[in-house]
Each structure stands twice: as C-alpha cells, then as structure tokens.
Amino acid sequence: MKKLKLEELGRVSTEEYKSVVKLPIVIVLDNVRSLHNVGSAFRTADAFRIEKIFLTGITGQPPHREIQKTALGATESVDWEYFKSESELVQQLKSEGYTIIIIEQTSESVALHHFAPIDGVKYCLVFGNEVNGVSDGVIDQADLAIEIPQSGTKHSINVSVCIGIVVWEMAKKFI
C-alpha cells in the first residue's frame, strides 16, 4: 500500500468542477458565526459536489483569511451567494421547488439514517448557528427536520462536523 500523490487522485480542475453534474442539494448556513466552520462547509460542499451554498445573516463571506484557511480554495469552486434574511431566502428556495430540510432536534425530527431522498426532488439543507441552532422563522417554513442520533452527554455536534455527516449520508443515497 502507498499513499497517493495529488496528481494520482484524478481530481478535476476548478474550471472543470464548474461544469460537472452536482447533487440536487444546496446548503444554507443560517447565521453561522465561526469563519472556520464556514470554510469547512465550502470544503465539504466541494468534496461532494453540492450545487451551491447560501450564507445568511451574520455568516462570514469570502474572501476572508479565516474562511480560506479551512476552505483551501473551495470558495472558488463552489457557487455561493449571500442573503441578509434567512427566512426570505428559504421562502425563495421553496418557490423554486426545493424541499426545505432543517438539521435540528425538534419534536418531529427524523433520524438521518431513516431519511430517503426521492429522485427528481431538489433539497435545501439548513444548518444553524453554533449556539442557537436554526432560526425559528426557518423552522416554521421547513418541510422536514432531520437529526443525527446521538447517545453521549452533549446535545449537539459542531456544525462543521454535522455538515460533513449529513452531506456524506445524503451523497451515499444519491450514488
């Protein structure tokens, strides 16, 4: 066994990435305050060919040194857009035919491993603020809540880790 070099991985260039088929998924970062978490979201979105990232409210925007530190250039490959109001953005995405899925612990949450995407449906995954979670206005507009089952003493997972878990699980179901 040998570790592969970058040139042996067969990765597409940033220019090629723009034209490849993406998963029918967009990500909304709802007031995510850590720039490192934002950068990590971009890197995860690139790895799994997510359509687009939407940044809302207080969420930091590229270009920023702290975002770039974890994104490692993914802000150049992944399409993104900023909206001041997360509720207005979600309303717009609903009107464009996206199913709005909040990643949150609610009275009606479905365990991530029980969720099965439907062919031909576009999904919007909303990840909330590190302290307060998904905004109440977005919760009110959601079509579904998904949570990652946990059995430890803490009630949450860091948002960047959560994004990785959820996007990986969704990507597996589309492959």
Q: Mean pLDDT over all residues of the chain? A: 96
CA 98/CA 46 separation, integer angstroms: 20
Question: What pLDDT is stored for residue 65 in this prediction?
Answer: 96
At 126-169, the pLDDT tens digits run: 999 999 999 999 999 999 999 999 999 998 999 999 999 999 99
pTM: 0.96
Question: What pLDDT is stored for residue 6 in this prediction?
Answer: 84
Delineate the domains of the chain, giving CATH numbers in brackets.
Answer: 19-174 (3.40.1280.10)
- Residue ranges in the chain whose pLDDT is less than 50: none
Question: What pLDDT is stored for residue 155 in this prediction?
Answer: 87
